[in-house]
């Protein structure tokens, strides 16, 4: 089977990955604490907003859960589709699900942790590099979006450098594109002011 071949298994993996990606751990963790993440801070149902408003003990399971669903989606897609390209496609589907979750009225986050999870499963060293870029810049700037955008900007060059097949690059590029589009407001904030740091609105853990 060609790495870029479209099969019934790959399509099934894509659909299942979307449904898996639609599970929003920020919503669930906040709800378990009697809070509505949509009405807190930036209103974004993601780990950074949870960190700012509910502390790191709430943010950590959100981050890990979002990464786990990205990894599980990629693993499922690769298994059903029979190729690494199908795994990347399923990773993209999981990011779509995170951004536009059917279980949460299509009001989702920005897909960064889910993308990290998919990359960690498909290319562990690449995934670790992305997480390191994000974590390093977050520590240095206290602005999660700077680390997120830098990590996404690094993904395709790293994959090209290790001779990743074109079919996989297409789906990885789709992940990057969607995550960047979801950061449009953050990019405007970085350019014109008004960006939130992880210390903004932060409650004690």
Which structure tokens are listed for 45?
Answer: 């149902």
Q: Using an 8 Å Cβ cutoff, are 96 and 102 in contact?
A: no
**3-class DSSP assignment, residue 153:** helix
Q: Using an 8 Å Cβ cutoff, are 99 and 108 in contact?
A: yes
Largest CA distance in the chain: 53
* Nearest residue to 89 via CA among 175, 164, 177: 175
How far, in Å, CA of 89 to CA of 21, rounded?
13
Domain chopping of the chain, boundaries? 8-192
Distance set, CA 154 to CA 49, 132, 150, 181 (Å): 24, 11, 6, 16
Q: Using an 8 Å Cβ cutoff, are 112 and 169 in contact?
A: no
Per-residue pLDDT of the chain (205 residues; tens, 9 = 90+): 445 567 899 999 999 999 999 999 999 999 999 999 999 998 999 999 999 999 999 999 999 999 999 999 999 999 999 999 999 999 999 999 999 999 999 999 999 999 999 999 999 999 999 999 999 999 999 999 999 999 999 999 999 999 999 999 999 999 999 999 999 999 999 988 866 676 544 444 3
């Amino acid at each position: 089977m060609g790495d870029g071949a479209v099969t019934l298994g790959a399509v099934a993996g894509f659909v299942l990955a979307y449904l898996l990606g639609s599970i929003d751990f920020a919503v669930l963790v906040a709800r378990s604490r009697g809070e509505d993440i949509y009405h807190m801070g930036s209103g974004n149902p993601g780990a950074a907003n949870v960190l700012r408003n509910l502390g790191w003990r709430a943010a950590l399971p959100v981050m890990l859960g979002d990464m786990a669903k990205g990894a599980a989606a990629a693993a499922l897609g690769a298994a059903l589709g029979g190729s690494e390209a199908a795994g990347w496609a399923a990773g993209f589907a999981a990011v779509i699900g995170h951004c536009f979750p059917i279980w949460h009225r299509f009001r989702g986050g920005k897909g960064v942790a889910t993308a990290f999870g998919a990359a960690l499963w498909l290319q562990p060293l690449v995934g670790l590099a992305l997480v390191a870029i994000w974590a390093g810049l977050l520590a240095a700037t206290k602005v999660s979006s700077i680390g997120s955008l830098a990590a996404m900007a690094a993904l395709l060059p790293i994959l090209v450098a290790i001779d990743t097949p074109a079919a996989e690059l297409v789906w990885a590029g789709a992940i990057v594109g969607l995550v960047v589009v979801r950061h449009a407001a953050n990019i405007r904030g970085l350019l014109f002011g008004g960006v939130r740091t992880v210390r903004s609105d932060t409650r004690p853990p």
